[in-house]
Amino acid sequence: MTETVLEIKNLQVEYHTEHGDVQAVRGINYKVNKGETVALVGESGCGKSASVKPIMGEKEANQVIKSGEINFTYQTENGQKTVDLLKISPKEVQSQIKGKEIAMVFQDPMTSLDPTMKIEKQIAEAVKASSPQINKEQLNKRVLELIETVGIQNADVVKKQYPHQLSGGMRQRIVIAIALSGNPSLLICDEPTTGLDVTIQAKILNLIKDIQKSRKLSVIFITHNLGVVANIATNVNVMYAGKIVETGTTEDIFFDPRHPYTWGLLESVPDVNEAVKELPTIAGTIPDLTQPVVGDAFAPRNKYALNIDFKEQPPMFEVNDHHYAATWLLDKRAPKVEIPTVLKRRIEKMKKEAEADGE
Amino acid sequence: MKKYVLKRLLIAVVTLFLITLILFVMEKAMPGSPFNDEKMSHAQVAALYRKYGLDGPIWLQFFNYLKNMITGDFGVSYTVQVNTPVTTMIFQHFKISLQIGLQATILGSIIGFFMGVLAAVKKGTIWDNLMTGISVLGISLPNFVVALIISLIFSYKLMVLPGTYQQTQPFVSSILPTIALSTFTMASIERYVRNDMITIMDSDYYRLADSKGIKKYQLIMHHVIRNTLISVITVLAPLMIDLIAGSMVIEKAFAIPGLGTLYISAIQANDYNVVLGITFFYAVLFIGIMLVVDILYGLIDPRIRLDEGE
Ligand SMILES: Nc1ncnc2c1ncn2[C@@H]1O[C@H](COP(=O)(O)OP(=O)(O)O)[C@@H](O)[C@H]1O
Ligand SMILES: [Mg+2]
């Protein structure tokens, strides 16, 4: 029986600016079940970060939440409790949720630690926030434990250091240690590997995956690189211009993608087996979100776009009961469009590899 | 860190030497003589020149002077207070300037700091606007205008505080000059603290600290104010130097016998030794404080403290 940990309903987020109101998130819906990793994928500026900030009660001065519900279910001493994170007070979010039930790993490990505070103090602060009664000895032990949990060998040395003395990979491990310090049930990773070297990226990715498995965490994993999520996600939400345009299991998205935007994202994932050549990127840029969007926001960049794509917002067409995509190409009246042949070949290959791996 | 301190020290010494050299040369190149009393004959003036060693080659004069300075001997005054050692004069006058300057620094920075914190924490509210208004006023009003206004109110209208310096009541007579002198510091510190705190509250490390679920005041104290305090030292130092050097304007406005007043009299009277002595003293003061601040900053900021080598 799957338990839903987080359910986002019709979330709309705007930012007031001098140039108008940026409709960063235009009504998104998704669920995160216990022990699942849900990926949010899309180009930079698609509203991925904007869509998770309200979960942590992060309130920028010009941010306006136009509508929506964020229902979060967690265990308390008195059993299970479900709250709408947008309705409860900031005080309650701070004392009950942040760091304790939901924790976050940020994009840039080089700047996300306090430059003038020792590592141990930064971790201890997080531990104390969730267990205020802890005594000094236990606190020390817990800090060391956390540093070791994230795969750092010489915890004794590292805890006495300052952020600038550590490499980017090490810093990101510390950030993960801080996130784990309150034993959260939901972890939000906002581009956790984007700022890192390719070799380190894989290690951090594996660390997150291991931690997710061993602690049965639910994870929201944000990235602009669809290639990163193949090994880590259970479900994938593809986001474009503040909307989810395709959602499905990882297999659905990788083996049977339906939205031309998803095709574009898949094509721009580097293929390790092919000789390195110019990576195709999706032509054009994301639309100006201060202007109202008519039809499918992706239509102007979409070479398969139908007339109706420019006029009317496509609904989420069902492919199967866990796979949906918002493109008029899925309407039964639409002409049959084949997915790009290069991509088709790649998918066949991936499928074969996956089968081989499975045996 | 050792290397860092040594490097700073070396730079300080070289700077000081260069400043003295430049000043000495400039002073020599200027027209006018300390003995331009019309009643003296040429022979008498020449005798005085000989007496004070002003007749030798210029490099020898400089060399002698430098040697004397290193041993703390700035010579004696020729005209302002004839034959009084310059050192004695400087310290007499500096005491008053230092007292008022320190008081103004402390007053201005404490009030400015709290105003800045208030403005940053209440960013975008009426409080922020109020603090901005006060500090814009503080930065743009020249301090002699402030001096005029407050002496008008407290000295002439209410008659609670003296408007001119009284040797018999050094503290009471320092109150108005302290306030007049502190407004610029207060306003500058307010601006700096507000902007620095807002920058920090927009930083990634603030976001991370906030995501730990710690209390708001803890977040502000440990991550924002702590880091602001570290960097505020660097702006405070030059402001402080300005104040303790003895503001000529404020000393004039309140008739304070401070170092600024002495400096002006010495310049007007072409009293070489006094001018050079005070200038050298200022240079030592400036460079000394900057040095202390650099080292202090190095001690507080781990990014500098722990950087071995380089
Ligand atoms: N504080 C803000 N003020 C104004 N616009 C913002 C702000 N934060 C984000 N935006 C805008 O909202 C959109 C979505 O941003 P974001 O969620 O950060 O994208 P992503 O995380 O997918 O790269 C972008 O157009 C961005 O410019
Ligand atoms: Mg982002």
Choose the weakest-confidence range: A87-101, A225-239, B283-297: B283-297
- What residues does A64 pair with on adjacent strands? A14
For residue A92, is pLDDT > 70?
yes
Mean pLDDT is highest, among A169-173, A334-338, B305-309, for A169-173
Whole-number mean pLDDT of chain A?
92
Burial class (CB in 10 A: 0-12, 13-18, 19+), B196: buried
Whose CA is closest to B114, among B182, B184, B189? B189
Contact of B227 with chain A, judged by CB distance below 8 Å, is answered with: yes
Q: Which amino acid does the sequence have at A162?
A: Y
For chain B, 310 residues long, give each residue's pLDDT as a single digit of tens. 778 888 888 988 898 888 878 877 776 776 666 666 666 777 777 777 776 667 777 778 888 777 777 777 787 888 888 889 999 999 999 999 999 999 999 999 999 999 999 999 999 899 999 999 999 999 999 888 999 999 999 988 888 888 888 888 888 999 999 999 999 999 999 999 999 999 999 999 999 999 999 999 999 999 999 999 988 988 888 888 888 877 888 998 899 999 999 999 998 888 878 888 888 888 888 888 888 888 888 888 887 777 654 3
In a 3-state reduction of DSSP, which class is residue B134? Answer: helix
Tell me the C-alpha distance between B203 and B235, whole Å: 21
Measured from CB, residues less than 6 Å from any atom of ligand 1 are A 15, 17, 22, 24, 42, 44-50, 60, 62, 289
Greater model confidence, A1 or A270? A270
- The token duo for A79 is 């059993």
Answer whether B221 touches A (CB < 8 Å): no
Closest Cα in chain B, distance from residue A126 (Å): 5
Q: Which ligand is nearest to the CA of A46?
A: 1
Q: For ligand 1, atom 11, which residue shows the shortest CA distance?
A: A24
From residue B197, alpha-carbon distances to A320, B98, B190, B228, B281 in Å are: 52, 30, 11, 6, 36
- Position B309 scores a pLDDT of 41
Q: Where are the alpha helices (DSSP H) in chain A?
A: 48-52, 90-92, 119-130, 136-149, 155-159, 168-180, 198-215, 226-229, 250-255, 260-267, 341-358
Ligand 1 atom at shortest distance from the alpha carbon of A242: 14
Domains located in chain B, CATH noted = 89-258 (1.10.3720.10)
**Interchain proximity A111–B303, CB inside 8 Å:** no
- Angle (CA) B243-B245-B248 rounded to 5° is 85
| Beta-sheet strand order (sheet of A317-320) | A102-105, A186-190, A218-223, A37-41, A235-240, A243-249, A323-325, A317-320
What's the pLDDT score for residue B193?
97
% of chain A surpassing 70 pLDDT: 97
Q: Which residues does chain B have within 8 Å of residue A98's beta carbon, measured at their own beta carbons?
A: 210-213
Residues of chain A with pLDDT > 90: what percent?
78
Do residues B208 and B195 lie in contact, with contact meaning Cβ atoms separated by under 8 Å?
A: no
ipTM score over 0.95, yes or no: no
How many other β-carbons are positioned within 10 Å of the β-carbon of residue A242?
28
pLDDT on residue B74: 80
Terminal-to-terminal C-alpha distance of chain B: 10
Instruction: Report which protein residue has its CA nearest ligand 1's atom 19.
Output: A45
List of residues 6+ apart from A274 with CB closer than 8 A:
none
Q: Which of A280, A319, A313 is nearest to A299 (CA)?
A: A313
Is the pLDDT at A66 greater than 70, yes or no? yes
d(CA A210, CA A180): 13
Q: What pLDDT is stored for residue B310 in this prediction?
A: 36
The answer, for A56 touching chain B at a CB cutoff of 8 Å, is yes
Stretch A162-172: mean pLDDT: 94
Taking CB atoms and an 8 Å limit, are B204 and A112 in contact across chains? yes
Domains and CATH numbers, chain A: 4-238 (3.40.50.300), 250-358 (no CATH)
Q: In the numeric block, which tokens belong to residue A193?
A: 């590997």
